[in-house]
Amino acid sequence: MLLRSVTLAVFCFAGFMFAQGNGDWDEPFPPYKVIGNVYYVGTKGLANFLITTPDGNILINSDFERNVPTIRASVEKLGFSFRDTKILLGSHAHGDHMAGDAMVKELTGALVMAMAEDVPALEKMRPGNKPHPIDRVLHDGDRVTLGSTTLVAHLTPGHTKGCTTWTMKVGDSGKTYDVVIVRSVNVNQGYMLVGNKYYPEIADDFARTFKILQSLPVDVFLGAHGDYYGMEAKYARMKTGGPNPFIDPDGYHAYLR
């Protein structure tokens, strides 16, 4: 089953970076409340999440530097101050998710945290020749707490060696929900699962990652790209009222099959 899941990832997601196109990555999308203290502040193609707390806010993903002004505008449209961003987290060491880390830190002073296995790749990510800031190196199972909110970092490698899936519990309307923010599970274009001299353990890492993801408790399914979890369609449904469409454990498990 795990090998089948990995094989499906190759065929279903290989070339995702090119299929989406920069138009989707740069096209603004209305910011909105997902659930509880979790807000969407990304573009149409790149997902960014703001986690608010009384002690400041956590931002997940900075994207390219060119996307940072759009993220900032989305945060402020929701009525929050971008300068209140105290912690910046990432999903994985690719430019479309973490190249803007230095700019966000310059604008907010946020502490930048990243999984240890992605640090070498991040250190090579220097837009404008600026050093990539890393204030805390994370390891599998580490907890990141701000105020009363805690996120747990799960090492789910394959797409990059330090790909990180984030989980947290969120309260909404008197109930508590398990939120899972999935990093990318696709195989990078041009990569091979067998005989990959740049990443010899890639197949084993993907198999382990799918096993981890299948074991996580989940109510709310989110991800590093909106297409992973049907963001646009769920956003449209949310505006019509009714149950929160982002509460979608069935969609999560279908995504992993």
Residue 101 has pLDDT above 90, yes or no: yes
Q: Could you tell me the pLDDT band of residue 2, with boundaries at 50, 70 and 90?
A: very low
Residue 215 has pLDDT above 70, yes or no: yes
pLDDT at site 15 = 35
Show the domain range for 162.
2-256
pLDDT at site 244 = 98
pLDDT at site 191 = 65
Residue 243 has pLDDT above 50, yes or no: yes
Q: Which helix (H) or strand (E) holds 151?
A: strand 149-155
Residue 4 has pLDDT above 70, yes or no: no
Report for 4-18, 183-197, 205-219: range of highest mean pLDDT: 205-219
Buried-exposed string 180-194: b where 16+ CB fall within 10 A, e elsewhere: bbbbbbbbbeeeebe
Residue 30 has pLDDT above 50, yes or no: yes
pLDDT at site 183 = 82
Closest CA to 35 of 144, 170, 219: 170
Closest CA to 87 of 132, 130, 134: 134
pLDDT at site 180 = 98
Greater confidence, 252 or 9?
Answer: 252
Q: Could you tell me the pLDDT band of residue 197, with boundaries at 50, 70 and 90?
A: confident
pLDDT at site 163 = 95
Cα(115)–Cα(153) distance, integer angstroms:
8
pLDDT at site 18 = 36
Greater confidence, 227 or 186?
Answer: 227
Of 15-24, 90-99, 108-117, 177-186, the range with the lowest mean pLDDT is 15-24
pLDDT at site 22 = 65
pLDDT at site 10 = 38
Tokens found for residue 89:
């987290």
pLDDT at site 194 = 72
pLDDT at site 189 = 61
Closest CA to 62 of 38, 88, 44: 88
- Count of structural domains, the chain: 1
Residue 7 has pLDDT above 50, yes or no: no
Domain containing 189 — which CATH number? 3.60.15.10
Greater confidence, 194 or 243?
Answer: 243
Average pLDDT of the residues of the chain: 90
Q: What's the pLDDT tens digit per position in 64-84?
A: 999 999 999 999 999 999 999
In three-state secondary structure terms, 249 is: helix
pLDDT at site 102 = 98
pLDDT at site 17 = 39
Cα 159 to its chain centre, rounded Å, is 13
